[in-house]
Amino acid sequence: MSVTAEWQQMMSEIQNLLVDNCAQISKYGSDMEKTELVNQMTTAMKEVCEINNSFAHQKKALHWCQNIQSEDHIDYDSEYQKKLAEIKKGKKYNVESDELFKEFKERVEDITSNEFEVEESDMNFLDPITKQTIKQPVKSQICGHVFDKDSIDSMFRGRDPYIRCPYVGCPNKLRKKDIQEDKHLTQKFERFLNTQSQR
């Protein structure tokens, strides 16, 4: 795995960790604790995004230095620092516009919202195979339909590599590798199940 890929994976893992913290706060904390601690997680995420932006600048400057072609002796450290300063003088960074931060905010808002409203056309909490409430949601990367992990896994046992999507009217054929867990989706379902248990 390249350094860039490892870095991106680390950024994603940090985001997931902070979102998970917000989920626990939302589930067990008082209203005052929720506000204070979610704000702390948001501040931490901003700092992570700023570090990520700084890494991107350093990567650009380093790449530029690697492409310098000259027969003369080059002070690469000096050239690197000059290029880095030039890059930083460019477009001003706004953390609120950072895709990583916007995704974090969207996920946290889903978790901490006082109202949990999901249109039936947008999300169905019943598994199309068993007609029971989904407990462990997984999502088709082909058509976007959601299933319970156990029920969709059972359809792949002893069958051809492809199955037809179990949703009525969906013509897509699916492979097992097309069905993936979605942490964001799982959190939505957990909140739904928690809401149902409190009624």
Identify whether residues 15 and 105 lie together within a single domain. yes
The pLDDT assigned to 49 comes to: 94
| The pLDDT of residue 120 is above 50 | no
Percent of the chain with pLDDT over 90: 21
For residue 145, the domain's CATH number is 3.30.40
Looking at the fold, whether 99 and 34 belong to one and the same domain comes out as yes
- Of 68-72, 93-97, 125-129, 153-157, the range with the lowest mean pLDDT is 68-72
The DSSP symbol for 92 reads P
* Domain match, 16 and 77 both: yes
Q: The domain containing residue 148 runs over which residues?
A: 137-197
- Adjacent-strand bridge partners of 138: 147, 181
In a domain, 122, yes or no: no
- My answer on whether 51 and 143 are in the same domain is no
Place of tokens 């199955």: 163
Kindly state the average pLDDT of the residues 23-34: 76
My answer on whether 24 and 90 are in the same domain is yes
Query: Mind listing the pLDDT tens digit for each residue in 159-188?
Result: 678 898 998 888 888 999 889 887 777 777
Note whether 81 and 17 are same-domain residues: yes
Query: Is residue 55 located within the same domain as residue 148?
Result: no
Number of domains in the chain: 2
Model pLDDT, residue 196: 64
Global pTM value: 0.53
Q: Span 101-114, mean pLDDT?
A: 80
- Residue % of the chain over a pLDDT of 70: 86
Are residue 69 and residue 37 in the same domain, yes or no?
yes
* 52 and 89 assigned to the same domain: yes
CA distance 53 to 59: 10
Contact assessment for residue 147 and residue 127, using Cβ atoms and an 8 Å cutoff: yes
Highest mean pLDDT of the ranges 44-48, 133-137, 187-191:
44-48
Q: What is the pLDDT of residue 8?
A: 85
Higher pLDDT, 147 or 65: 147
In a domain, 17, yes or no: yes
Give me the pLDDT at residue 43, please: 94
- pLDDT band at residue 191 under the 50/70/90 scheme: confident
80, 113, 146: which is the final residue of a domain? 113
Q: Residue 166 falls within a domain, yes or no?
A: yes
- Helix/strand/coil for 3: helix
Could you tell me if residue 125 is inside a domain?
A: no
Q: How confident is the model at residue 119 (pLDDT cuts 50, 70, 90)?
A: very low
Say yes or no: 109 and 58 in one domain. yes
**Based on C-alpha coordinates, what's the Rg of the chain?**
23
Q: Does 82 share its domain with 151?
A: no
Q: How confident is the model at residue 96 (pLDDT cuts 50, 70, 90)?
A: very high
Q: Per the domain annotation, does 154 fall within a domain?
A: yes
> Domain check: are 71 and 162 in the same one?
no
Is the residue at 119 inside a domain?
A: no
Pairing of strands 179-181, 162-164: unpaired
Average pLDDT, the chain: 82
